Structure 1
Amino acid sequence: MITLIIVAVVAMICAGGLNTVETAVAGISRARVAELQRDEVAGANALLKVVENRARHVNVLVILRTLCESIGAVTLAAVCLKLFEPERWAIVAAVVLLALFTFLVLGVFSRTMGRKNPYSISLATAVVLSFMAKVLGPLEKLLIWFGNIITPGGGFRDGPFATEVELREMVDIAQERGIVEHDERRMIQSVFDLAETSARVVMVPRPEMVWIEADKHCGQAVALCVKSGHSRLPVIGESVEDIVGVIYLKDIVQQTYSRTDGGRGVRVSEVMRDCVFVPDSKPLDDLLDEMQRTRNHIAILIDEYGSVAGLISIEDILEEIVGEIADEYDEAEQAPIEPLGDASYRVQARLSLGELIELYDEAHGRQLVFDDEVTEEVDTVSGLLAYELGRVPLPGSYVEYAGLKFTAEGSRDRRGRMRVRTVVVEPTAEFYSEEEDTDGQS
């Protein structure tokens, strides 16, 4: 009994150790190992031979781990049969214990250790692993050959072993040596990150979408494209949830160029294209590949409930790779609040309503009052404009609220799109009349 327990424990511990080494070897970079060899790190020579024929060494580790797991499982079952009565409870106990040990030790613990310390573990075991590969090499080849025979369609031939981990570290080494600039490295790393980034991260959210109704005429569509700076606009039916297509400025111009009515005789619904709907959880690399294959530059994103979450363009995805680029057309950072005199201010569009209320309370002794519905739905000054207008505000749009006139200001960004950057807040006649009433009462 004691012997069986010792054999089971030792076999499972060995299986866990082999799994740790397997995880470590699979996660190291050949380029980094070559760098360690040049630095004359102990064990680097043996490790370089391992990564040069990584598939063979990983196969040997899998063979040894499988052998240890089998020995451990059989001996554990034998121990349980001796300890538990009747036999069915012994089988249940063996299954439960084996499942727990496999998940906790072979799964979580060993793989975590291998991923956290891949180079130190690989360097420490490289010599032993090389020796085991020489001893078990013929067996490994025989098993692979037999496995390929019984595999439908045949097996895979070992090819160059390149992983994302290796490529990332090659880029890091290239930067350290001055071969790759910092910005170039960042762009290359961003390409890898596309697979881990969902479309919702970079989308234009629904409240910021600029859209046009299907029953509008093309002359209005051209005016909206010019004013907003967008060459493609989603087309809606009854509401923003009912997106029926996408209109392209190029299509509008082709349809209305020779007309004398400025496009007023052509409805948007007549020239719009079908729109593409994709889940907002779709990885950016898959989405970019799909948009390239379908020659589509814009997609509507749908959330998990089937509602419109926003839209994304191919330019938004490319921006994730190249990053934000400031040029001579980008405006300098502006102060959040710029006094203009006579209780008027130019404020940043993202200034919160709370800060605006505090500004007029401290500077002019006026308590701005907003409806409860507004305070619940709106956070910023630009949000107030959008809420009152019922659409995304464009430069020149204005609303009057709480005795103040809010006028949107903006300019074109680097892609030529109009962006609201600031809002001019100025008092109206109502503001001064309320001020006089307050003075009269006092």
Structure 2
Amino acid sequence: MNILIAVAASILLMAFAGLMAATESALSVMSVDDVRALAKLHRSRRALEAIANQPAAHRNVVMFARIASETVVAVVVTAALLTSGLPLWAGLLISIAIMTTASFVLAGSSPRSVGRVRPEGIVAFAAPVVHILRIVLGPLANLLVALGDRVTPGRPGTSAFASEEQLLSMVDEATRHDVLEKDERELIHSIFEWGDTHVREVMVPRIDMVTVEADTSLADAGALFLSSGLSRIPVIGDDTDDIVGVLYLRDVARISLDKKSAPRGASVRSLAHDAVFLPELKKADDALRDMQASSTHLAFVVDEHGGIAGLVTLEDLLEELVGEIRDEFDRGAPEATALADGRYRVAARMHIEDLGELFGLDLDDDEVDSVGGLLAKELDRVPEVGDHVVVSGLHLEADRVEARRGRVTNILVWPDQELLDAQRAFGGDE
């Protein structure tokens, strides 16, 4: 009879430990907002809201209840076997075998898998029990957690991610398992890199700025707009450091089309809008917020000495985050142009699979998609004009740099002699 009671108690406690393991796993994949949203839809609203308000405390008590249940089961099973007449060594070995199997299967892998797959259902079902456990066992669990904090060096965080690198590593892992697309991975990485980017890394350098002097006629200013293709041009006084403001194409066009409504004595200086200035070490995300707050699309970047280092636009900041933005007025150059000497000039943004098709090769890379990215990966740094690498029998050489931001825009590509010989031999065999 005692053995039957012990078996029944062990089964119930192990089932409870399995529920706690599933709940622990479910809580690890649900955010606080997820639990709050679940509370609005479920009858156990009060318990779910309590879990959302104190997630760490409830996770601790769930873990404590699971460990305590498994410990009690281990003691009961061992005691039952030792009182059954078996030798001590045999009873201990059988107890270890039973508890290892039961803990791994019934309170380990199986319930945790269920918790990860159906987190909402598990948390909603277990919420009342977990909340009661928090009230009853919470003080003891908190005492043990405090003791663990004293023993363990450093203070453990409550976040699921200990660092930015850990989060990005999980993003890479999700991409390798096709949970995320490569474009989504690149966007997430860009967001983190963008937060560490300074305005001076994104700006148009001073030497490449298109400016108009304040005493220039509106007709000449209009011609400059047409030739440059810009919609906003800085207005300067004596030199580039003497910024008067920003001239908008729409203002010049309005006066040109409706001269009767134009203000008397209208000039470039009178039409200039107030300028916005940003320090060159300002972070890109902060600069974007400042420009949004001031409703401006163009800001001047100031160096440590107070001089003009360059300018930055909203488009520059957004392109740093999401890549090149092209509109219907941008004249796109062809991605590949054949040259007379058997080489090709290709756009840095060209996909490596398209490059492979151009040369009859099967090019693929798990980390990069573009030819420019492939060149940068092989160099292990940002490419500069003249940089050269060989990949799969193809020579890649950085050819042209965008004046605005110093990025490589075109790459020269040609096959090496061994690749040509192999392709000729393969073609001859056919």
Pairwise same-fold verdict (TM > 0.5): no
TM-score under structure 1 length normalisation: 0.41
